[in-house]
Homo-oligomer: A and B are copies of this chain.
Amino acid sequence: MPEDAQLLYNKVCQHARRTALLGSIEEVLGWDERTKMPPAGAEHRAEQMTLLSGILHQRRTDPDFGRRLAELSESPLAADPHGDSGTTIRRLKRDYDKRVKLPQSLVEELTRTAVLGQGIWQKARAENDFATFRPVLEKTIELKRREAEALGYPECPYDALLDDFEPEALTSEVTRVLAGLRDELVPLVGEIGQSGREPGVSILSRCYPIDRQEAFGREVASSMGFDFNRGRLDVTAHPFCSGLGPNDCRITTRYSEHSFASALFGIMHEAGHGIYDQGLRADQYGLPLGDAASLGIHESQSRMWENLVGRSHAFWRHYFARAQSRFPESLGDVRLDDFYFAINAVRPSLVRVEADEATYNLHILIRFELEQALLGGELAVADLPGAWNEKYREYLGIVPPSDALGVLQDVHWSGGAIGYFPTYSLGNLYAAQIFAQAETEVGPLDEQFARGEFQPLREWLGEKIHRQGQRYPAAMLVERITGKPLGSAPLIKHLWTKLGPLYGIG
C-alpha cells in the first residue's frame, strides 16, 4: 500500500534532519581538531571521524530513504521544483542519487588516495619535489575520471566533478564567463604594471600588536553583523568558517604582528561566510531550504565583505580614524588615501592565497584550465609543472622559481578536490554582479558604509540569498536577483572603477 505523500514527506524530512544533526557532530570534531586538539590526539580523532562518517554514509544511502524520495518526486508535492516541498524533494533526491551511484569500493579508494595524497603532497611541497607527488596525482586523476563516469554528466566529465561544489553548473558556461574575465583581466593587470605607479605598501608591515588586531577585527566583524552570541573567533594556521549548528558558527584567522591586512581582511572574509551561515533559516536546518546554495554563492558572500566592502574607500572613511586610534604608532602619520591605495595594491605574484583582488582570478583560471586538461587527458601529469609555469608566464608575466611556489602550492588536488577552484572566481563574479544590484536597490551603499552602516546591505543579502537556501541553483539565483545571467562585466567594471584612478589608467 503506497504511503500518503505528506506522511512520506515528513518521514523524509525527519530522516534528513537527523542526518544533518549527526553531520553537525562531525563539524564539532573537525573544528576542535583544527583549533584546540592536542597534537597527540590526532590518531583517535581520525578514528572518531571514520566511525561517524560510516554511520552518516549509511543514513545518507539508506534504501528506504531513497525509495521514499523516488516516490515523492512523482507526487504533487514535487510539482513546483522551486516551491518549498519541491525544493526539498528535488535537492534531497539529487544528493541521494549521486551518492548511490558511486560504488563503495570507489569511495573507499578515493578516500584512501586523498589521505595518502595529502601526506605525500605535504612532503613534496616541503622538499620541492614534484616527482614524488606525481604518481599519487596520476592515481587521483584516474580515480576522478572513474568517478565522473560513474556519476554521469550532461556534457563533459568535468561537469560531474564541478557539480560537487557548484551544483547544476556546466563547465561550458563557467568556461564562457571565466574566459571573458581572462580576456579583460590580462590587459588590465598589464596596464597596471606599465603605469609606473606603486602604492607604499610598507606601512602595512609596521608593528600592529596582535591583541589590538584581534580587538579591531572583532569590532569590524560585529558591526558587519557577525553575531558572537551565536559564534566564535579563534586562531588557526589556515583560516576557515565552520557551522556547528544553526546557532553556532565559528570563524578563524591568523595574526602576524607585521601584517595589518592579512588578519583583518581574513576576519572580514570568514565573517562574510559566517553571516551567510547565521542568516540561513534555522527552522529549515538540515533541509535544503536551510542550507547554502553552493560554494560559489558562499564565496560571493565572503568576497563581497572582504573586497567590495572592506577594501572600499567608503568603508575606510568610517574606519580609518578608528584604526589610527588603535594603532597610533603605525598609522598616526598615514593619510587615508595612501592607506587605501596600499590595501588595493595590484601586483602579479606567485601564490594564490596572497594574491590581490585583480590577479586572484588569473590564479584560478590557470588551475581551472589545467585541471580540465588533466581530466580530459590532453595534459599528462608529468607535463603539469611545465604547463603551470607556461600559464603563469602567459597570464601574469612571471614564472615560479620552484614547484613549491608553483604547481605544489595548493592542497586541493592532493585531496581529490578537482572542480573546486572555479568556485573561488565564481564567488568574485557573483559578488560583483549582486553588489551592483544591491547598489541600485539599497544604495547608495558608499554613503552607508561611510557612516558605518552595514545593516541595509546585510538585510538585503539575507532576504535575497541567505533565506533562499537551495531554492534555486546558483546561476538561477543570481539571474533572479540581478535580472541578468552571470557575466564578467560587473567585476571588470568594479575593478576598473577602483583601480583606474589609483593607477592613473583606463
Residue numbers of A with Cβ under 8 A of B are: 18, 21-22, 24-25, 28-29, 32, 36-41, 43-45, 47-48, 51-52, 55, 227-232, 244-248, 250, 285
Contact = CB atoms under 8 A, between A and B. Distances in A.
A162 B285 CA distance: 42
B38 A230 contact: yes
A231 B41 CA distance: 8
Nearest to A247: B40
A36 B22 CA distance: 20
Interface of A is mostly: helix
Contacts of A227: 40
A244 B246 CA distance: 24
B21 A47 contact: yes
B38 A247 contact: yes
A247 B37 CA distance: 10
B21 A48 contact: yes
A170 B45 CA distance: 38
A99 to B, nearest CB: 21
B48 A247 contact: no
A28 B48 contact: yes
Given A21-B51, A25-B48, A48-B245, A40 B230 contact: yes
Contacts of A244: 41, 44
Contact of A36 (B41, B232, B246): B232
A222 to B, nearest CB: 13
Q: Give the copy number.
A: 2
A43 B250 CA distance: 16
A218 to B, nearest CB: 13
Contacts of A285: 44
A368 to B, nearest CB: 37
B246 A38 contact: no
Contacts of A248: 37-38, 40-41, 44-45
Nearest to A27: B48
Contacts of A39: 229
Given A230-B40, A248-B37, A32 B22 contact: no
Contacts of A230: 38, 40-41
Nearest to A42: B247
Contacts of A245: 41, 44-45, 48
A244 B47 CA distance: 12
B44 A246 contact: yes
A29 B40 contact: no
23 contacts: A21-B44, A21-B48, A21-B51, A22-B51, A25-B25, A25-B29, A25-B52, A28-B32, A36-B232, A37-B248, A38-B230, A38-B232, A38-B250, A39-B229, A40-B229, A41-B245, A41-B247, A41-B248, A44-B247, A44-B285, A45-B245, A48-B245, A55-B55
Nearest to A55: B55
Contacts of A25: 25, 29, 48, 51-52
Contacts of A45: 245, 248
A417 to B, nearest CB: 26
A230 B39 CA distance: 7
Contacts of A51: 18, 21-22, 25
A44 B20 CA distance: 11
Contacts of A41: 230, 244-245, 247-248
The 7 closest A-B pairs by CB, nearest first: A44-B245, A41-B248, A40-B247, A40-B230, A40-B229, A25-B48, A41-B247
Nearest to A47: B21
Contacts of A231: 38
A18 B47 CA distance: 10
A15 to B, nearest CB: 13
Contacts of A47: 21
Contact of A38 (B18, B38, B55, B229): B229
A244 B51 CA distance: 15
A32 B22 CA distance: 16
